[in-house]
Amino acid sequence: MSEALHNVAPPGSIEAKDLEHLLHPTTNLKVHHEKGPAVHLEAKGVYLKDNKGKQYIEGMAGLWCTALGYGEEELVRVAAEQMRKLSYSQLFGSKTNEPSVLLAERLKAMMPFDAGRVFFGLSGSDANDTQIKLMWYYNNAIGKPEKKKIISRSRGYHGVTIASGSLTGLPPFHAQFDLPIPGILHTDAPHYYRGAQAGETEEAFAGRLADSLEALIQKEGADTIAAFIAEPIMGAGGVIVPPATYYEKIQALLTKHDIFFIDDEVICGFGRTGNPFGAQTMGITPTTVSVAKAVSSAYLPLSAVIIPEFMYEPFIEQSAQIGTFGHGFTYSGHPVCAAVALRNLELMEERKIFEHAATVGEVFQSRLNGFADHPLVGETRGRGLIGAIELVANKETKAPFDAKQGVGAHCMERCEDNGLIVRSLGDSVAFCPPLIITEDQVHEVFDKFGKSLDETLEWLRHP
Ligand SMILES: Cc1ncc(COP(=O)(O)O)c(C=O)c1O
């Protein structure tokens, strides 16, 4: 192995050490060994530099998470101050700490539903695992031990742990990992462009998906299904914005069958879609909510599950009978993470970040949609400051490229060469910049993208 490594990285370099020591998450490991890693060195605001001195504009907010951008001194100050004061404490066994309590209070007040209790974790995956466990614990507590299955959707992304990875509806996250586990079901992805039949309106497509969900509920039995989980706008599945009336129809169905709605706001939460939460943009009334990523602008890891009071109440007696509420992480309510997340949310309010994101989001969407006529573009889609452009082999027939051609990946590479960070999700190119991005910087993102897209077309015509 080591000889091959020297072809892409000089011995002793950080690249060589990376190739020797790391197991990279969500990476094609063979391509990684052929091409070597990209080393990020430093970042400020919406700009990032690699170790060769090249600057990039950040079109993806890291992994959809650096909402306030990089290098925010106020968050650095708060983290250092909290580390000096109380670098660690816990929430186990009735202990508590001020930052966690104040963060829970603030999160509850922001929620798009009548929130009761906040449980802290560290990642979107653990939040969604917690969601499943709380559904099971609740239904056992209220004497409905059969009501346990969770319905997720194809192309949904909810994490990678055994349970949250099972919720995820993308094949590479299941293959060879022996997922999904029993009890996790998947229904259709609400992608009108790809899923609609000839001549079908958005409403008719949404109706067909609701019928398909109802058929699944009837087949399994509503009494065996605890909850449905959805990202208001799907992120990693390709930034899929569901069609008109979709959530209206789904929500009515869930209410009719007494099935809870778990709203995964891990990407959509905190201003991303032009409103504080994706639920508001898409007209959802959640039963419970998961948040992570922008809640701390990724300065430190933090996630939270927020549940209504009626779910919490039966936990009290059940935990007493068992002897404890037996769920929690060493770092649930880590005071430094909580202090940073709290200040992050305060800064979002003080600087009117949600309003800013909504305003700049209009320019963003208009630039995004401006690519609709490009010969390579099948669909442009998004809301607020999130979007994607799907590249197709044939605009008229919507025929996709052969996946082996790697057209999306090539376009992403062209973007990187041109100093723009985006993410290819198959042949869709995703955009999700930090919420602090200015109008001029939005133009910079799409000017660079336009050049890269033309270069991709040129490469396809003259390979
Ligand atoms: C909607 C959604 N839920 C959950 C997760 C999992 O979060 P994490 O990677 O922090 O475990 C992600 C990650 O991208 C996500 O996009």
pLDDT digits (tens, 9 = 90+) for 399-410: 999 999 999 999
Measured between alpha carbons, how far is 259 from 261 in angstroms, rounded to an integer?
Answer: 7
What backbone phi and psi angles, to 5 degrees, belong to 410? -65, -45
Provide mean pLDDT across the span 209-231.
98
Q: What is the pLDDT of residue 262?
A: 99
User: Residue 104 and residue 304: Cα distance in Å, rounded?
Assistant: 9
Q: How far is the CA of 266 from the centre of ligand 1 (A)?
A: 6
- Pocket probe for ligand 1: among 65, 122, 157, the residue whose CB has the most ligand atoms within 8 Å is 157
In the chain, what is the straight-line distance between the N-terminal and C-terminal CA atoms, in Å? 31
The residue with tokens 């009761």 is: 116
The pLDDT tens digits of the residues spanning 45-95 come to 999 999 999 999 999 999 999 999 999 999 999 999 999 999 999 999 999
User: pTM here?
Assistant: 0.98
When pLDDT is cut at 50, 70 and 90, the band that residue 8 belongs to is confident
Give the model's confidence band at 463: pLDDT under 50 very low, under 70 low, under 90 confident, else very high. confident
In this structure, what token pair is assigned to residue 366? Answer: 């208009």
Ligand 1 center to 157 CA (angstroms): 7
Write the single-letter amino acid at 195.
Answer: G
Q: Find residue 305's DSSP bridge partners.
A: 119, 290
- Whose structure tokens read 């997340």? 341
Whether the pLDDT of residue 1 is over 80: the answer is: no
Pairing of strands 420-421, 55-58: parallel
Q: Which atom of ligand 1 is nearest to the CA of 303?
A: 10
Contact 10, 36 (CB under 8 A): no
- Most ligand 1 atoms within 8 A of CB, residue of 161, 267, 277 to mutate: 267
Spatial separation of the C-alpha atoms in residues 454 and 373, rounded to whole Å? 12
Closest C-alpha among 317, 369, 379 to residue 141: 317
Return the closest-CA partner of residue 288 out of 315, 270, 261, 269. 261
| Average pLDDT score over residue span 96-113 | 98
CA–CA distance, 177 with 165 (Å, rounded to integer): 9
Q: Whose CA is nearest to atom 3 of ligand 1?
A: 158
pLDDT at 3 over 80: no
**Per-residue pLDDT band at 197 (split at 50, 70, 90):** very high
